[in-house]
A and B are shown apart, each in its own frame.
Chain A
Amino acid sequence: MLLGPSGSGKTTTLKLINGLLRVSEGRVAVDGRDISDWEITRLRRHIGYAIQDVGLFPHYTVEKNVTLVPRLERWEETRIRRRVQEVLQMVGLPVEEFAQRYPDELSGGQRQRVGLARALAADPPILLMDEPFGALDPLTRAELQREFKQLQQRLRKTVVFVTHDVGEALLLGDRIALMESGRLHGVYTPQEFVDSRDPLVQRYLEAFRAAQQVFETRR
């Protein structure tokens, strides 16, 4: 989990990993290989990508959106068909009902599910996610977070997940990388994060508790 305020470099870090941005110094390695040694399109098809704005192709059906990378990779037609079924089921969208719809016929939560299905379609070992649930209403967000956690327990992918939500980081993360003004402040397990005496971590936890207190006092 990359956690930090707006402008702290979370999204930039993410885009450095799949080469949407290039490093000015230092190096980025994926699977132990410097990304400049990868052919860029190969690298990107090896990494799933899901973002807050989803970025579905508005002129493609759900099915065509989801099968984009498998088609680029020239999978066989029968394998593609099977994969659409699998992957839409994984994200909780019945194929018969959704495969032929266009993005503008979906709700925000459904669109985000399709975005996730598209990122998973070619079964990439790595997933980059940039506040994928950030624009959803609280109920839908909680539902998708829970489902994603279950999915991840099954799939065991390497996920780099950007969020500014402490609760989300604690819920979904194995490790939390706290970022501040373009620097990595520290890396913690959720338990270490909660126990940390670090002043910056403390500020995050205070803000998180303050929100919970509002809830507790009203009970």
Chain B
Amino acid sequence: MLEFFVAHKREIATLTGEHLWLVGISVILAVAIGMPLGILLTRRPGWKTVVLGSNSVVQTIPGLALFGLLLPLPWLGARADRLAIVALTLYALLPIIQNTYVGISEVAAPVREAALAMGLTNRQLLWQVELPLAANTIVAGVRVATVFAIGLATIAAAIGAGGLGEFIFRGLAMVNNNVILAGAIPAALMALIADGLLALLQHKLTRVHR
């Protein structure tokens, strides 16, 4: 197995890079969309059912099916990596929206009341009080989303978007464990490392702002 890895190290590196790119862009997009949505929900609780509900519906669609469903769409279907990023982003959204909402909602009522009574504006309340106190929960959501996206991104190879799934699907077709593992092991390592790094960030944020 080791020999196989050494022999294919260049291809493994390329596919790992592709994988990282798919996941990275998707998670960044999901954070960029999900956090503002989560914040919005704390200001307009009435929208909670619609936003979280529609997102849960997306979550129930199996990964492969979602890729397939999006394939015939005009702009999306044109490029496999574009489609994969949209699908991964959709999946990563829920934990981020939800944890942002929960983290901010859990800020103690007297803290919020005191902040307003001290004359903080709504914006200052958000940036100086609510987001720092919710940071731990929000990063926990990003961790879940990231690990999940790394796993799901292996399926993106099925629609030709590249990534470590290439090895897995090829190995399955060839009934060759070495080939499967050449995709599975780097993907698993990537998930572990990403989770560890985000855990570190989470720890740091909580230490600074208990």
Contacts from A to B (Cβ < 8 Å): 18, 20, 40-45, 47, 49, 51, 53-59, 68-69, 72, 102, 104, 115, 118, 128
Complex contact B210–A59 (CB within 8 A): yes
A161 to chain B, nearest CB (A): 15
User: Among B119, B121, B128, B132, which residue has the most Cβ atoms of chain A within 10 A?
Assistant: B119
CB of A54 within 8 A of CB of B114, answer yes
CB-CB nearest 5 A-B residue pairs: A55-B114, A59-B209, A53-B110, A55-B110, A44-B119
Residues of B within 8 A of A (CB): 108, 110-121, 124, 128-129, 132-133, 208-210
Whether A49 touches B117, Cβ cut-off 8 Å, given contacts A56-B111, A57-B129, is yes
B210 touches A54 (CB 8 A): no
- Residues A68 and B118 in contact, CB atoms below 8 Å apart: yes
- Out of A18, A57, A59, A102, which one reaches B117, CB within 8 Å? A18
12 other A-B residue contacts (CB within 8 Å) besides A44-B116, A51-B114: A40-B119, A44-B118, A49-B117, A55-B111, A56-B111, A56-B114, A57-B111, A57-B133, A68-B118, A69-B118, A69-B119, A72-B118
The tally of CB-CB contacts under 8 A between chains A and B is 65
- In the assembled complex, the Cα of A63 lies from the Cα of B154 at a distance in Å of 50
In Å, the complex CA distance between A196 and B175 comes to 96
Residues of B within 8 A of A53 (CB): 108, 110
B119 touches A51 (CB 8 A): no
CA distance A128 to B129 in the complex (A): 22
Given A72-B124, A102-B210, A104-B210; A58-B111 close (CB under 8 Å): yes
Chain A residues whose C-beta falls within 8 Å of the C-beta of B120 in the assembled complex = 41, 68, 72
Q: What are 25 of the A-B contact pairs (CB < 8 Å)?
A: A20-B113, A43-B119, A44-B117, A44-B118, A45-B119, A49-B118, A51-B110, A51-B117, A53-B108, A54-B114, A55-B110, A55-B112, A55-B114, A57-B114, A57-B115, A58-B111, A59-B133, A59-B209, A68-B120, A69-B118, A69-B119, A72-B120, A72-B124, A118-B118, A128-B117
B133 / chain A contacts, CB cutoff of 8 Å: 57-59
User: Shortest Cβ distance from B121 into chain A, in angstroms?
Assistant: 6
In whole Å, how far is A22's beta carbon from the nearest beta carbon of chain B? Answer: 13
A-side contacts of B118, CB under 8 Å:
44-45, 49, 68-69, 72, 118
A45–B208 Cα gap in the complex (Å)?
27
Chain A residues, Cβ within 8 Å of B208 = 59
**How far, in Å, is A129 (CB) from chain B's closest CB?**
11
Select from chain B the residue with minimum beta-carbon distance to A68.
B118
Q: How far is the CA of A41 from the CA of B114 in the complex (A)?
A: 13
Q: Nearest chain A CB to B103's CB is how many angstroms away? A: 13
Q: Which of B114, B121, B124, B129 touches A49 (beta carbons < 8 Å)?
A: B114
A-side contacts of B119, CB under 8 Å? 40-45, 69, 72
How far does the alpha carbon of A58 sit from the alpha carbon of B113 in the complex, in Å? 14
| C-alpha spacing A83/B132, complex, angstroms | 26
Q: Which residues from chain A contact B116 at a C-beta distance below 8 Å?
A: 20, 44
Interchain CB contact under 8 A, A55 and B115: yes
Question: With the chains together, A104 CA to B116 CA distance in Å?
Answer: 21
CB–CB B210/A55 < 8 A: no
Tell me the minimal C-beta distance from A101 to chain B in angstroms: 11
Cα distance, A42 to B120, chains bound together (Å)? 10
Cα-based distance from A51 to B114 in the complex (angstroms):
8
Chain A residues whose C-beta falls within 8 Å of the C-beta of B113 in the assembled complex: 20, 51, 55
Least distance between A20 CB and chain B CB atoms (Å)? 6
Give the most central of A54, A59, A118: most B CB within 10 Å. Answer: A59
* Assembly CA distance A59 to B118 (angstroms): 16
